Every structure is written in structure tokens, then in C-alpha cells.
Structure 1
Amino acid sequence: MYRILIVEDELDAATALRNAIERYGKEHDEQFQIGWMRNTIDLDRPAFDLIFMDIDLGVENGMEDAEEIRKFDTKTPIIFVTNLAQYAVRGYQVNALDFIVKPFTYGSFSLRMDRAMEVMRRQSDRTITVHARDGICLFSASDLVRVWVRGHNVNYELSGGRTVVARGSLSETEKMLGGAPFLRISSGCIINMAHVRGVHEAAVTMSDKSVCYISRANKRRCLEEISRYLGGGAG
């Protein structure tokens, strides 16, 4: 299942996008969890696989919001939905995947969604390369359960009980992982939300039975992001 966020201040426009996404899912046998937000005021670090972003959000500018998102998330594809075609060139500055100009036809939407699906599939199956102690190590992003640090060592815990140890910092690792489904919950730990099996207070139980703890400063934000990722929706 892929998580898609619509950022659109007009209900009719958001409904049109939702209908197009749902139709595409039925035609291509894909499942989508669709969230809707009128603006990005409450959007901190989005746990989504694709974002449809309106540019004219009334009190906000979607292009500027995308620039803020790109400060902590360089990989989630963004498709701008707008009647302001002149923003197309600027969109490349935030690595926009594509543009849909209002009013759009389903055929136009479908072509752009095809491209988005290629990117999402590639990112979900991507390989992570780590320069470990004993050489270069490659593993699937989906196999990474959590990352934690001890001293100058970064420990990559993989499904099946394997641990890859490399030198570096958690900040460098967080930037490399590039956002959802990876979430930094404390100064010393990043989790893969796809491997979360339970949450109680600040304790997060992972698929390998390990328990990770959310720092007090990050608790509200992290709980909201985990809930949204696991099906809590948005908007």
C-alpha cells in the first residue's frame, strides 16, 4: 500500500484528485491510503510516498511549502497541481516530479501517475549501500529495522538478526535514508515505521522484538507520524 497526501485548500479540487487516485488504483490493482490537508501548517516530517501539492493555498504558497519539505525530505516525489503554469520552471528547484494544470483530465492525470508509480516502486525497493568495517555492504531498504548509534559507530539492524556496523553519525544516516518510512525518534535512534509492531506510551516495539524509545521532545510528533503511516490518515 502506498500513502498519498493531497495538499489542497479547496474541497472540490481535493475530491477530484481523490476520485482520480481511487480510479487509478482500481484500474491498476493498486491500494492507496489517501490523506488530505488544506495546508501544511501541521505537516512536520511527512510519512507519505507521494504528495500532490496545490500551489495557491490561500494563506500559503505550495512552492514555498515544498522548499521547506525538501530541507528534511529530498526523496518523496511531489506533483504540483495548479492553474499557474508559470511555476513549472521553479518547480525543478525543489525536484518536483511533475505538474498537473487545472482543470485536468483523467488521461492527463493517469500519465503522471504512471511516472509516480515508477518512482515509488523504485524507492520502496531501493538498495542501501553502507561502508562497513569489513567492506562495502548492500541491503534492501525494506530489510532495515532500525539504526542506532554508540560512540562513532552507526549500527544498522536488519531483519533476520543481522547487524551492519559502520563509522559515521546519525545525522548523516538520516539524510541518506531520506524520510519516510524512516523516522528519527531520538538523538540516537532511527526506526523503519514499516517494522513497527506496537506502540505504548514512548516505547515502540519493532518486528525483531527490540524496543525503541521516543525522546520526550519528539514524542508528540513521532506518535502522530507513526499513527499516520500505519493508517491513521491525515486532514
Structure 2
Amino acid sequence: MIRIAIVEDETSYQEQLVEFLRKFEQDRGENIEIEIFSDGDEIVENYKAQFDIILMDVQMQFMDGMSAAEEIRKVDSEVVIIFITNMAQYAIKGYEVDALDYVLKPISYFPFSQRLNRAIDRMKKRESHFITILLKGGVKRLKISDIYYVESQGHKLIFCTKEGEYIASGTMKELEKELSSFHFFRGNKGYLINLEHVDGMNDSCAVVRGENLIISRTKRRAFMESLSNYWGEVIK
């Protein structure tokens, strides 16, 4: 499933882009989910890094595409942005917000499909798994492999990551379920540990990026088995 947002204030172009996407879906054999926004402020409001590709008109009434892209980049560094414009000079400015490409109006299917192919190829090459966490006053999209461990403190979850610490709301039980298909282990009541970042064991602790995280007595054997299995998979 490829999730694509169309941000375009002209109905005729909205309809044309949907038509092209459905044709592309058949030609390439992809499954595409489409959501339409009529202005930049609509997609920015409550944005939660939910799209793979954004087709963004540059000139819109309330919030132009460049400003919307700047806001989106604050919370989502991975989404592929393609600008739709009738002015080629906007394409150069697009590099400031890491736009992949641009499509000139009036739009024709062949160049559009070429750019979409390029976007999907880029998206799949850097395909990673992400989790969206709720922070005070906003949201944050975290790459799962960048999470070292998560600590539970009351009703708060502290994510220790490659980028630093983030305090989020939620429960450890829900998070453990969400990350169950990845290499995470519940070392004790307070810690959920990413086995990818475990360097070894020190007495009753897992050594994670130089920190000693206590593994409860009842879980040590299972932890060692999980860690050995993980290391075995990595070595293979």
C-alpha cells in the first residue's frame, strides 16, 4: 500500500491527478490510497507523518506549498514531496525542503508517471519502519531502529533514541504490542529494550549504548535466548 496525498486547490487538477494515479496503479500493479487536501493549511493541521508521497501544488490561497512543506519537514523527514507548479523557478527552491521533483502544469501522464516511478523507487530504497509518538503539544515520527530503549515512568514513556530523549504519553503494554514484530524485549516492568543496540550482559544488566539496564531475575533466561537468537540472525 502506497499512501499518497494530493494538495491542490483547483478541482480540475485534483481530478486529473486522481485519474493519473489510478492509471499508474493499474500500469505498475501498485495499491494506492489517495487523500485530497484543498490547501496547504489542511494537510499541515494534525499532520502525523501518515503519507509516503505528497503531490503538492505550490500556489494556493491560504498556505502555499513551500510553506506547507517546511512545516511537514519539521515532523517528517522521510515523506517524498513532488511539487506541482506552472513556474519552473519554484523547483530550485524546492531543494530547500528536500523535494524530490516537480511536475509542470499542464500535466501530462508520461512525465508524471516517470516522476512517480522515481518517487516510489526512492521510497522503497530507503524503506524503514517508523512509529509515531504523542508528545506534549505535538507528535514525533521515530525510526524504530533508532530507538535504544523505552523507559516507563508512571503514565509517561521516555524514548531513548539516536536523536536524544523524547517524553511521550502512552502505556508500556500498548507500546510492547505495537513493537511485537520487531526485536524488542521487555527486560522488566520499566524497560523495553531494542536488541539491536544491546552490546552484551553485565551481571544482571543488559548493556545498551553504555548504560546498564536491569533484567529481572524471571526474565534473564528468556532475554539471553532472545538476544542469542537475534545475534544469530544478524550474523547469518
TM-score of the alignment, normalized to the shorter chain, above 0.5:
yes
For the residue of structure 2 that corresponds to 1:168, the secondary structure is strand
- Which one-letter code corresponds to 2:72 in the other structure? I
Query: Displacement of 1:58 after TM fit?
Result: 1.9
Aligned to 1:77: 80
Answer 1 or 2: higher relative contact order, Cα 8 Å, separation at least 6.
1
Equivalences for residues 52-201 of structure 1 within 5 A: 52-125=55-128, 129-130=145-146, 148-150=150-152, 168=160, 172=164, 187-189=168-170
Q: How far off its partner does 1:39 sit? A: 1.2
Instruction: State the 1:189 CA deviation.
Output: 5.0
Shift, 1:90, TM fit: 0.8
Identity of aligned residues (%): 31
Code of the aligned partner of 1:54: D
TM-score of the superposition, structure 1-length normalised?
0.58
Change (3 A) 1:130 1:170: closer
Q: Report the CA distance shift for 1:107/1:36 in structure 2 as closer, same or farther (over 3 A).
A: same
Q: Which residue of 1 aligns with 2:47?
A: 45
Provide the rounded CA distance (Å) in 2 between the counterparts of 1:109 and 1:9: 18
TM superposition score normalised by structure 2: 0.58
| 1:105 CA displacement | 1.3
Q: Distance in 1 between matches of 2:168 and 2:162?
A: 8
What amino acid does structure 2 have at the position aligned with 1:93? Answer: E
Give the distance between the partners of 1:172 and 1:14, measured in 2 at CA.
40
Residues 1:36 and 2:28 are matched in the alignment:
no
**C-alpha distance in structure 1 between counterparts of 2:146 and 2:161, whole Å:** 12
Deviation at 1:41, TM superposition (A): 2.5
Which residue of structure 1 aligns with residue 16 of structure 2?
A: 16
| Offset, 1:172 | 3.6
Indicate how the Cα distance of structure 1 residues 60 and 125 shifts in structure 2: closer, same or farther if over 3 A, else same: closer
Alpha-carbon distance between aligned partners in 1 of 2:8 and 2:108, rounded to the nearest angstrom: 17
User: Offset of 1:22 from its aligned partner?
Assistant: 0.8
2:40–2:60: 8 Å Cα contact kept in structure 1?
no
Whole-angstrom distance in 2 between the partners of 1:29 and 1:52 = 20
The root-mean-square deviation of aligned C-alpha atoms, in Å, is 3.6
Distance 1:130 1:58, change over 3 A: closer
CA distance, structure 2, for counterparts of residue 125 and residue 67 of structure 1: 22
CA–CA distance in structure 1, aligned partners of residues 41 and 146 of structure 2: 35
CA contact (8 A) 1:6 1:53 kept: yes
In the alignment of these two chains, the number of paired residues is 161
Query: CA 1:81 to 1:190, structure 2 compared with 1: closer, same or farther past 3 Å?
Result: farther
Gaps of at least 5 residues in structure 2 are: 130-142, 182-236
- The aligned counterpart of 2:133 is none
